[in-house]
Amino acid sequence: MANPTLLILAGDGIGPEVMGQVTRIIDWFGDKRGLAFDVEHDLVGGAAYDKHGTPLHDDTMARAMEVDAVLLGAVGGPKYDDLDFSVKPERGLLRLRKEMDLFSNLRPAQCFDALADFSSLKKHLIAGLDIMIVRELTSGVYFGEPRGIFEEGNERVGINTQRYTESEIGRVARSAFELARRRGNKVCSMEKANVMESGILWREVVQKVHDEDYPDVELSHMYADNGAMQLVRAPKQFDVILTDNLFGDILSDCAAMLTGSLGMLPSASLGAPNADGRPKALYEPVHGSAPDITGQGKANPIACILSFAMALRYSFDQGDEATRLEKAIEKVLADGARTADLMGEEGGTPISTSQMGDVILAAL
Amino acid sequence: MANPTLLILAGDGIGPEVMGQVTRIIDWFGDKRGLAFDVEHDLVGGAAYDKHGTPLHDDTMARAMEVDAVLLGAVGGPKYDDLDFSVKPERGLLRLRKEMDLFSNLRPAQCFDALADFSSLKKHLIAGLDIMIVRELTSGVYFGEPRGIFEEGNERVGINTQRYTESEIGRVARSAFELARRRGNKVCSMEKANVMESGILWREVVQKVHDEDYPDVELSHMYADNGAMQLVRAPKQFDVILTDNLFGDILSDCAAMLTGSLGMLPSASLGAPNADGRPKALYEPVHGSAPDITGQGKANPIACILSFAMALRYSFDQGDEATRLEKAIEKVLADGARTADLMGEEGGTPISTSQMGDVILAAL
Ligand SMILES: CC(C)[C@H](C(=O)O)[C@@H](O)C(=O)O
Ligand SMILES: CC(C)[C@H](C(=O)O)[C@@H](O)C(=O)O
């Protein structure tokens, strides 16, 4: 049988540095666990723009549609800040999400025991935190038409359209309920049904999918502003949070920061299952391209490595191997391995990106 | 000279209870400081719906346009959850904001020394916090057309429109820069210019207003998702935060919760100045109608009283009297006065809504 295929798009800033460690881990799984992948590399974001004048070349897009999973590093950087909207690095990522139809974005906000002190929250509020945010990723105000900057009378107006169909809401709701069943069996859905009609439809469809097919899952609804408050007040009240593209962007970053260690958080973006049962999938760390530390060997590769662990679990049905990798990371953290971003007030000497790769490989 | 006029709309839930204490404070300023107001009372939200079948009667709307300032308690409650969108309690509030053209919503997130332990954040991150969020309040996705739930093919689609003109952005930006000059002289503007064209126009206009008329104010721009993170990570980095209606709703609630005591936070919603230099204005606490504690004498009236302090400052040019009231509140807190929402882990016996009014009056 042919090996499963991976397309690696390391992207910009620290993307290539952290991805360098991921490829070492991938090789280890091939050598030691008989899990060999066929790996290809290509460009995305500013790196693609520099070479092709577009943040995602059509050939890359075509390969992304064919492979079993895409691993992405990070996109963007100050060098590209003044580029036209249509060729900004982010457009490459958004095109991947849209054309691969990756409607369900899984963002775990998890607090590692060894790192609970890094949170800005008091320890008892955050220790043991384990939330999964399911963000709709291919519709809503990121993609709705009409959009643009138009002349109107004697001034300009900036327009974007928030837009959700019943089927778009239904499919992402299903993915949240499915996930909840494998976790704490609770879903909290967030919108602004008190002021937005798109929120009313969202709430109605989520409730209907629940009542028809997931009555065993505990479902609640919350306004998104209250959601932001509750995340800060008592984050452990949540299991799975289901929300739309824009609210999800903000709430998942808020939740991520609660853990205090952004360099630790992976994400998975999943589409519909193919004939072989595998969803179209893209995995990427939650952190950005971090231009301030690029090229210095300081970046923390763990978020990107944990994204590969999510790939093992969600694309390749290798939950046990994913757990093996996650446990290795927990161990090195418990043993005190720290990249620069994980230096607390006690101080100490940080290890480099590749040294973190070394100790994780050793722990495996 | 005629007394200045106040329209009190106590609204739903705990609204009437907390407003009861505010009227005592208003009377005190009339008796003791020669600051008499002509006060009228009327209905809004569910209370108005129960009587008139609409969450804001036209006569009330007309009076709101005429008085010097409106004080609002809270709107909404489970009783009204299933009402049609067009007559929900929130529509009364939104109509006031829109017709009075209250484009600039000031939401201070302030941490009172005596209450720093209530925050879920570590004390050193939050003690002394003093942020002012300026939220655009009359446009954006709350009001843009088209909006609604429509049939499309064989399913429904929920649509809302995010929409900002240059002049809408410009005027709220000005109010943020003006405020910053009287505070820490720093504005951070938040949008999603990386994915939304309305955000691109927002950033451009804010920068232009700055460069032309407020070059002395320090201006920065931040993506709203990063803004949510930074609020959780290190809130004291901010002075004035300027943002749109929807982002402002979420970010201001997030910031409010950082302080840990929602029952303490007031807000002001200001329009353009009238002929007499007074802006159209509505003042309301940030907390909601709190149906769970309604009618029990447990509600904390301080947020509503501090909203009246904002009225003294922004509508009646009585900054010194506002400070007098704020200092009285600081004093009773330092002396240990606590309503039920302010009970910490140490325990103790909470005082009632009217007892809190008593001690504040005594401190005045
Ligand atoms: C880079 C940007 C387009 C993206 C988004 O807004 O979705 C990012 O913030 C994210 O959350 O993945
Ligand atoms: C009650 C509701 C309409 C309102 C809003 O969303 O603006 C509230 O959340 C607020 O922030 O004042």
**CA–CA dist A67, A70 (Å, integer):** 7
| The pair of three-digit structure tokens given for residue A12, joined into one six-digit string | 């910009």
Cβ pair B104, B89 in contact under 8 A = no
Does residue A75 lie within any of the structural domains? Answer: yes
Say yes or no: A323 and A235 in one domain.
Answer: no
Query: What is the total count of domains within chain B?
Result: 2
Residue of B121, B141, B287 to mutate when probing chain A, most A C-beta within 10 A = B141
Task: Lowest mean pLDDT of B42-56, B82-96, B201-215, name the range.
Answer: B82-96
- Amino acid B194 reads N
Instruction: Tell me if A250 and B225 make a contact (CB, 8 A cut-off).
Output: yes
Task: Find out whether B40 and B84 touch, Cβ atoms under 8 Å.
Answer: no
Boundary-marking domain end, from B226, B258, B290: B258
Cβ-Cβ contacts under 8 Å between A and B: the total is 185
A58 contacts: CB under 8 Å, gap ≥ 6: none
pLDDT score for A362? 97
Q: Compute the distance between CA of residue A221 and CA of residue A233 in angstroms, rounded to an integer.
A: 17
Take atom 7 of ligand 2 and give the residue whose Cα is closest: B249
Confidence band of A39 (pLDDT split at 50, 70, 90): very high
Instruction: Tell me if B117 is assigned to some domain.
Output: no
Kindly state whether residue A302 falls inside one of the protein's structural domains.
Answer: yes
Say if the Cβ atoms of A226 and B253 lie within 8 Å.
yes
Record: contact B141-A85, CB cut-off 8 A? no
Q: Which residues pair with B150 in a beta bridge?
A: B157
| HSE toward the beta carbon, residue A145, CA cutoff 13 A | 0
Residue A71 and residue A148 in one domain: no
Q: Using the Cα atoms of residue B28, residue B29, residue B33 and residue B39 in order, give the sign of their dihedral.
A: negative
pLDDT at A82: 87
The Cα B120–Cα B44 span in angstroms is 33
Nearest CA in chain B to A94: B195
Instruction: Measure the CA–CA gap between A118 and A112, rounded to whole angstroms.
Output: 10
Residues A140 and A249 in one domain: yes
Give the separation between CA A271 and CA A171, rounded to whole angstroms: 10
- One-letter amino acid at B219 equals L
Question: CA–CA separation, B305 vs B325, rounded Å?
Answer: 8
- Decide if pLDDT at A8 tops 90: yes
- Our CA-based measurement puts residue B63 at a distance from the nearest CA of chain A, in whole angstroms, of 24
B90 Cβ closer than 6 Å to some ligand 2 atom: yes
Neighbour tally for B58: CB within 10 Å: 10
| Residues facing B156 on adjacent strands | B151
Rounded CA-CA distance A3/A7 in Å is: 13
State mean pLDDT over A326-334: 95
Query: What are the φ and ψ backbone dihedral angles of A226, each rounded to 5 degrees?
Result: -65, -35
Task: Mark whether B135 and B213 lie in a shared domain.
Answer: yes
Task: Please list the helix, strand and coil fractions of chain B in percent, rounded to the nearest 5, in that order.
Answer: 50, 25, 30
pLDDT tens track for A269-317: 999 988 888 899 999 999 999 999 999 999 999 999 999 999 999 999 9
**Does residue A160 lie within any of the structural domains?**
yes
Task: Say how many C-beta atoms besides its own lie within 10 A of residue B113's C-beta.
Answer: 10
Same domain, A269 and A251: no
E strands, chain A, are 5-11, 38-42, 69-74, 104-110, 130-136, 144-152, 155-165, 186-191, 218-223, 240-243, 266-273, 279-285
Do B335 and B244 lie in one domain? The reply is: no
Candidates A157, A5, A120, A154; CA nearest to A71 is: A5
Report residue A348: phi and psi, to 5°. 110, 180
- Give the mean pLDDT of A29-34: 96
User: Do B330 and B239 belong to one domain?
Assistant: no
Interval between CA A143 and ligand 1 midpoint (Å): 13
Interval A200-226 mean pLDDT: 98
pLDDT 10s digits, B12-52: 999 999 999 999 999 999 999 999 999 999 999 999 999 99
Is A362 inside any structural domain? yes
Residue A192 clears pLDDT 90, i.e. is over it: yes
* C-alpha distances in Å from residue A340, one per residue of A292, A301, A359: 13, 11, 15
The candidate with the shortest Cα–Cα distance to A133, out of A269, A236, A243, is: A243
Select from B228, B258, B288 the last residue of a domain: B258
Q: What is the pLDDT of residues B133-165, one digit of tens each?
A: 999 999 999 999 999 999 999 999 999 999 999
Q: Which residues pair with A285 in a beta bridge?
A: A266
Residue of B9 and B114 predicted with greater confidence: B9
pLDDT above 80: residue A347: no
Q: Which of residues 246-265 of A touch B (CB under 8 A)?
A: 246-247, 249-254, 256-258, 260, 262
The CA-based dihedral angle spanning residues A277, A283, A286, A292, taken in that order and rounded to the nearest 10 degrees? -170
Could you tell me what percent of chain A has a pLDDT over 90? 91
Question: Quick one: which atom of ligand 2 is closest to the CA of B267?
Answer: 12
Ligand 1 atom showing the smallest separation from residue A267 Cα: 12
Residue pointed to by tokens 């950087």: A77
Rounded CA-CA distance A146/A148 in Å is: 7
Indicate yes or no: CB of A200 within 8 angstroms of CB of B162: no
User: How many CB atoms lie under 10 A from the CB of residue B181?
Assistant: 13
Measure Cα distances from A274 to A2, A69, B167, B251 in Å.
17, 12, 49, 39
Of A90, A197, A228, the CB nearest to B148: A197
* Residue B250 lies inside a defined structural domain of this protein: yes
CA distance B276 to B62: 19
Same domain? For B275 and B328 the reply is yes
Distance A190 CA to ligand 2 centre (A): 15
**Contact call for residues B274 and B281 (beta carbons, < 8 A):** no
Residue A124 in any domain: the answer is no
Measured between CB atoms, which of A165, A229, A231 is closest to B155?
A165
The answer to whether the annotation marks B135 as part of a ligand binding site is yes
Q: What is the tens place of the pLDDT at every residue in A40-52?
A: 999 999 999 999 9
The range of the structural domain enclosing residue A96 comes to 1-112+262-364
Q: Smallest CA–CA separation between A100 and chain B, in Å?
A: 18
**Whole-angstrom distance, CA of residue A258 vs CA of residue A235:** 8
Claim to verify: residue A6 and residue A101 sit in the same structural domain: yes
Residue that finishes a domain, picked among A243, A258, A273? A258
A144-152/A155-165 β-pairing? antiparallel
B220 plus B277 within the same structural domain: no
Query: What separation in Å is there between the alpha carbon of A249 and the centre of ligand 1?
Result: 7
- Distance CA(A333)–CA(B309), nearest Å, equals 50
- Determine the average pLDDT of the residues in A48-66: 97
Q: How many CB atoms lie within 10 A of CB A190?
A: 30
User: Chain A contacts of B152, Cβ < 8 Å?
Assistant: 165
Cα–chain center distance at A75: 13
* Domain co-membership, A205 together with A268: no
Joined together, the tokens standing for residue A287 give 């952190």
Q: What is the mean pLDDT of chain A?
A: 95
Q: Among B201, B226, B230, whose Cβ lies nearest the Cβ of A149?
A: B201
pLDDT tens for B302-357 read 999 999 999 999 999 999 999 999 999 999 999 999 999 998 766 788 999 999 99
B317-325 CB contacts, 8 Å cutoff, 24+ apart:
B318/B35, B321/B29, B321/B33, B321/B35, B324/B364, B325/B25, B325/B364
Active site residues of B: 142, 192, 225, 249, 253
Residue A118 included in any domain: no
Residue B152, amino acid = E
Residue B247's CATH number? 3.40.718.10
Residue A59, number of CB atoms within 10 A of its CB:
10
Ligand nearest to the CA of B287: 2
Say whether both B170 and B241 belong to one domain.
yes
